[in-house]
Structure 1
Amino acid sequence: MTTDAPIKIAIVDDHALFRHGVAMLMKEFDELELVFEAENGKQLQQMLQKHEHPQVILMDINMPVMDGYDTTRWVKQNHPQILVLALSMYEDDAAVINMIKSGASGYVLKQLKPRELLEAIKTLAQKGVYINEIVSGKLIRSVANDEGLKLTTREVDFLKLCCSELTYKEIAEQMFVSPRTVDNYRESLFQKLNLKTRSGLVLYAIKNKIYQLE
């Protein structure tokens, strides 16, 4: 039994069987307290008016009525203190980037084991960011306390364009450089920031206000 106050969580997912399953598993952990469940963004809005607010929301992406992207944007605009952990079947860059741009502070896959999900929730609550499978864990430290890393103007330009829907080839055309040069920018940033994926670059750019969310 932990002596710390449990982390209050909510689950938003349109698949009732999955939602209830996660809820039952999470109730097994003393470190967590399930506040409520919701099947879409609209129901989440209603639940937030009636119940105590969670610290972390486990958010599905594909939902009817109001999907994970729109719901996350609404949460960050109206309840910025609540952290959103995207819980999805998708691991492609587009889904990750769109959820991060919508305001999610973490992204994990539904295949995660219960204990791993618990650790993701705890890390998110403590550090403010968690994207384990998608980016290096070192990102947590690079976001939490930027040590004055020196990025070139072109690297910053490249970072901003990484937050768009453009492919690396299209980014090269936009910057009027060769694809090889863009590869060099990417590899240089991976090394400087201790990252491994484009998704990690996007999260770094957003968290450090290099790219401004609309």
Structure 2
Amino acid sequence: MSSKSPIKVAIAHSNKLTCVALSTIASKNGCKVLFETTSGKSLISKLKQDKSIEILLMDIPLKDLNAYTVIKEIARINPKLKVLIVSSYTHPFTISYMAYHGICGFIGDEADETIIANAIKSVHLKGYFSGKTLSRREMNELAEIPVLQVTKKQVTFLQYCCTDMNYYEMAEKMKISHRTVDWYRDLLFERHNLTNRADLVLFSLKTGLVTLS
């Protein structure tokens, strides 16, 4: 990859080793990596401090704040920043959500060095990367379809669904009524075509809305 000046890149990934690997690949292919982080809060803080970053390579789950929250913050902090998702979390809901919020490409963690390098180059030169996980056509189509939002309370509910708490205990922990917990459950069932608590757990984990430490 060649250009008059290095492409300024930042990396945010839940796995430190992947951060290092992505940094190495980017550095070998005409990029200057300004920082690496595993924390969503740290990422937001650094993006506020440095508006010169051109491309962000980001995972879905991050410490403190995940990509579902971060992607909306980026739109406020630096709407010109080009975001390339690099993650193993490729659930249809995740891809749709990220496309709607303006990402420039989505590649899986299994992508090799050539694909990652080509993706960075494509995003830099064209503003998008069309790949196996998300094509340009799909990206454009999904960007026009309002995505179902998941509130902080609903995410908290999903986190508790991944524990051994019953619904009554969740309501007490969240300081809401049992009926509200039932409403969260039924709403998520309906919106995402789920039928039971096991489905809720699988949806939470496969989308990266919830990660188990």
Place the TM-score, normalised by the shorter chain, in its bin: 0.5 to 0.7
Matches within 5 A, 1:62-81: 62-81=61-80
CA distance in 2: counterparts of 1:44 and 1:3, whole angstroms = 26
Question: Which residue number in structure 1 is paired with residue 39 of structure 2?
Answer: 40
Matches within 5 A, 1:40-119: 40-51=39-50, 53-119=52-118
TM-score of the superposed pair, with normalisation by structure 1: 0.61
Question: Which residue number in structure 2 is paired with residue 181 of structure 1?
Answer: none
Report the AA paired with residue 109 of structure 1.
G
Matches within 5 A, 1:156-167: 160=145, 163-164=147-148
Question: Which residue number in structure 2 is paired with residue 19 of structure 1?
Answer: 19
**Structure 1 stretches lacking a partner, 5+ long:** 144-155, 168-214
Note if 1:129 corresponds to 2:94.
Answer: no
CA distance in 2: counterparts of 1:136 and 1:44, whole angstroms = 27
Report the number of matched residues: 149
Q: Is the 8 A contact 1:42 1:66 kept in 2?
A: yes
**SS of corresponding position for 2:98:** helix
CA distance in 1: counterparts of 2:38 and 2:132, whole angstroms = 25
Shift of 1:53: 2.6
Tell me the alpha carbon deviations over residues 131-166 of structure 1, each in whole angstroms, 9 at most, x when there is no partner. Answer: 4113445x39x95xxxxxxxxxxxx9xx747x5556
Bigger mean CA deviation after superposition, 67-76 or 15-24: 15-24
**SS of corresponding position for 1:42:** helix
CA distance in 1: counterparts of 2:19 and 2:123, whole angstroms = 20
CA distance in 2: counterparts of 1:4 and 1:82, whole angstroms = 19
Bigger mean CA deviation after superposition, 99-108 or 7-16: 99-108
Q: Is the 8 A contact 1:88 1:110 kept in 2?
A: yes
Shift of 1:15: 1.5
Question: Which residue number in structure 1 is paired with residue 164 of structure 2?
Answer: none
Q: Is the 8 A contact 1:38 1:44 kept in 2?
A: yes
Question: Which residue number in structure 2 is paired with residue 28 of structure 1?
Answer: 28
Moved over 6 A (4+): none
**SS of corresponding position for 1:27:** helix
**SS of corresponding position for 2:72:** helix
**SS of corresponding position for 2:28:** coil
Tell me the alpha carbon deviations over residues 68-125 of structure 1, each in whole angstroms, 9 at most, x when there is no partner. Answer: 1111110112200101111110222111011122332211111111121111111112
Report the AA paired with residue 34 of structure 1.
V
CA distance in 2: counterparts of 1:50 and 1:77, whole angstroms = 14
Shift of 1:61: 0.2
CA distance in 2: counterparts of 1:67 and 1:82, whole angstroms = 17
CA distance in 2: counterparts of 1:86 and 1:135, whole angstroms = 10
Q: Is the 8 A contact 1:13 1:63 kept in 2?
A: yes
Report the AA paired with residue 101 of structure 2.
S
Sequence identity percentage:
21
CA distance in 2: counterparts of 1:97 and 1:3, whole angstroms = 32
CA distance in 1: counterparts of 2:5 and 2:81, whole angstroms = 17
